[in-house]
Amino acid sequence: RVTHWLVSLIWCRSVYSLNASDRCDFVRSNPDCRSDSGYLDYLEGILCHFSPSLLPLVVTLYVLWLLYLFLVLGVTAAKFFCPNLSAIAATLKLSHNVAVSFSRGPLPAGRALVAFSDPRTASLAIGALFGAGVLVTTVVAGGIAILHPFVAASRPFLRDVAFYMTAVFLTFTALYLGRVTLAWALACLGLYVFYVLTVVLCTWIYRWQCRRSLVHSMPGTPELLSDSEEDPMSSNTSSYDYGDEYRPLFSYQESTVQILAQALNPLDYRRWRNQSVSWRVFKVLKLPVEFLLLLTVPVVDPDKDDRNWKRPLNCLHLVISPLVVVLTLQSGAYGVYEIGGLLPVWAVVVISGTGLASVTFFATSNREPPRLHWLFAFLGFLTSALWINAAATEVVNILRSLGVVFQLSNTVLGLTLLAWGNSIGDAFSDFTLARQGYPRMAFSACFGGIIFNMLVGVGLGCLLQMVRGSPEVKLEPDGLLDWVLASALGLSLAFSLVAVPLQCFQLSKAYGFCLLLFYVAFLVVALLTEFGVIHLGIM
């Protein structure tokens, strides 16, 4: 998706070479100026619904909406995505690191797969993967260390970096040779299968060592703790349940209507009275988002006695959450598709969800959760992930429109807007995990998720193109800048591979700031290369 709009942006920027009176017709008639995803056409709004004299006002409104979308991303990640992910890991007895790494792969890898299945966008997609990789391994990883310094799990870190560097080397060789062969595509897929088997084997060995240490030695062996894939911080000390202070001595049975009203209320009046004015203003801004998410996203909390079971609201979720899923996939394109020419998909989902919700309502009680309540964690995880993806799509479309307005070059867009658009959703989730006391989980996602994107997205995408009759996929490097991208990603991984063990795996704020400085230096070198200040004499 993001790669496609960058290709379209190359042609759509010519709109500003026309007279102001012709720009609207050009945008509406030119398919390159239309976005394939998202719900609002921001570029048409600028050029067709406002006069050129109001451009500063329109840009200001877009920036304010952009900031509000960041708020949506933060609330969704903090209160819905991360709790459900933790519940899934607890239910399946998975390492939190493994769960969050694998959960990040499908959507970005799907974008890479689509890009590489089209020969027109294959070479550009590699640049996008390198750019996003540099951003995640420096800005996101560094931000996690700054927000919450922690001790990294040694063996999982070394394993992920080693596999990531191997994946980068494979992609670098394909870029150098200018083509992708069948053997190369199969090697990528095989390497990821080997990575998954290695992760499973390492997790099994660690748990076997833990059981053995409990039998043959004192509990709490520090040597094992340093290699653990689990984050020792299991609770968020910054979030305090104010309801505990006001809990009645004698419990009473709430009605179904009361449970529903309380579950849909995002505002705690007792906490409201004790907060500052700035907190209240920020809370008012978040109220519409929180109410919408409470209505559409179920949350399973393993730390509560009732696991956050709200019978009337959870039954509503069985209708509303699947509806949100089909209306956010491809911006609702799948939801309006008619099955057999009779009913659209969204109507079938509503009918099926209503039947399931009715059965659940009459087969359960308000007092205790059902045995299959853990399935709501998967539904909530999927719905919150798609909300994040939908908000990130709107962010990318706004940035795309601003790129046309300000006439940014293709390279600058690729290094900044494209990379940021590919990574913004995951970055918000990782920063939220770090603030909630799970920095290891977030740090692991910086490497595991991108390994999936690079190996499966690229390998399977190229394989699909070959199945359609193409013997190999051609890649055309775009000058020196592609090598700057590839070298920066390799150097960032090599820096972490050396710096983290030298710190005895204790990641501090200084390490985080060094990564941020590395990204700034990378941007400076890339921009100087783009403008011809840095060049090769033979080129």
Q: Would you report the helix, strand and coil content of the chain in percent, each value rounded to 5? A: 75, 0, 25
Q: Is the pLDDT of residue 469 over 80?
A: no
The confidence band for 356, taking pLDDT boundaries of 50, 70 and 90, is: very high
Q: What is the C-alpha to C-alpha distance for residues 80 and 324, in angstroms, rounded to an integer? A: 15
- Nearest one of 32, 220, 156, 189 to 443, comparing CA atoms: 156
Give the model's pLDDT for residue 178: 77
Give the model's pLDDT for residue 501: 92
Interacting residues of 382 by C-beta distance below 8 A, sequence separation 6+: 321, 325
- What mean pLDDT, rounded, does the chain reach? 78
Q: Is the pLDDT of residue 228 over 50?
A: no
Give the model's pLDDT for residue 509: 92
Q: What is the C-alpha to C-alpha distance for residues 413 and 69, in angstroms, rounded to an integer? A: 20
The position carrying tokens 């179920």 is 298
Residue predicted with more confidence, 159 or 337? 159
Amino acid letter, residue 124: L
53-62, 350-359, 443-452 — most confident range? 350-359
Give the model's pLDDT for residue 332: 74
Q: What is the C-alpha to C-alpha distance for residues 322 and 400, in angstroms, rounded to an integer? A: 30
Lowest mean pLDDT, pick from 298-307, 450-459, 469-478, 505-514: 469-478
Give the model's pLDDT for residue 358: 95
Q: Is the pLDDT of residue 246 over 90?
A: no
Residue predicted with more confidence, 353 or 202? 353
Mean local confidence (pLDDT), 281-292: 92
Q: What is the C-alpha to C-alpha distance for residues 395 and 401, in angstroms, rounded to an integer? A: 10
Q: What is the C-alpha to C-alpha distance for residues 83 and 89, in angstroms, rounded to an integer? A: 10
Residue % of the chain over a pLDDT of 90: 21
Interacting residues of 104 by C-beta distance below 8 A, sequence separation 6+: 426, 429, 445, 448, 449, 452
Mean local confidence (pLDDT), 314-340: 85
pTM here? 0.68
Q: Please, what's the b/e burial string for 438-451 (b: 16 or more CB within 10 A of its CB; e: otherwise)?
A: bbbbbbbbbbbbbb
- Listed in order, strand segments (DSSP E) in 60-163 are 150-151
Mean local confidence (pLDDT), 235-242: 42
Reading the block at residue 25, the tokens are 């017709």
- Nearest one of 324, 390, 428 to 71, comparing CA atoms: 428
Give the model's pLDDT for residue 235: 40
Mean local confidence (pLDDT), 347-351: 92
Amino acid letter, residue 404: V
C-alpha angle 449/455/458, rounded to 5°?
115
Q: How far is CA 201 from CA 72, 103, 307, 338, 435, in A?
A: 38, 19, 31, 45, 30
Q: Count the Cβ atoms, other than its own, within 10 Å of residue 60.
A: 11
pLDDT tens for 471-530 read 777 766 556 777 787 888 889 999 999 999 999 999 999 999 999 999 999 888 887 876
Give the model's pLDDT for residue 425: 66
Mean local confidence (pLDDT), 135-160: 89
Lowest mean pLDDT, pick from 14-28, 237-251, 318-332: 237-251
Residue predicted with more confidence, 410 or 223? 410
Q: Report residue 362 CA to chain centroid gap.
A: 37
pLDDT tens for 41-83 read 888 888 888 888 888 899 999 989 988 988 888 788 778 887 8
Q: What is the C-alpha to C-alpha distance for residues 207 and 230, in angstroms, rounded to an integer? A: 11
Q: What is the C-alpha to C-alpha distance for residues 133 and 501, in angstroms, rounded to an integer? A: 21
C-alpha angle 202/208/211, rounded to 5°?
145
Q: Is the pLDDT of residue 32 over 70?
A: no
Q: What is the C-alpha to C-alpha distance for residues 521 and 344, in angstroms, rounded to an integer? A: 51
Residue predicted with more confidence, 451 or 346? 346
Residue predicted with more confidence, 361 or 268? 361
pLDDT tens for 84-129 read 887 887 787 766 556 665 555 544 554 555 555 555 445 556 666 7
Interacting residues of 352 by C-beta distance below 8 A, sequence separation 6+: 322
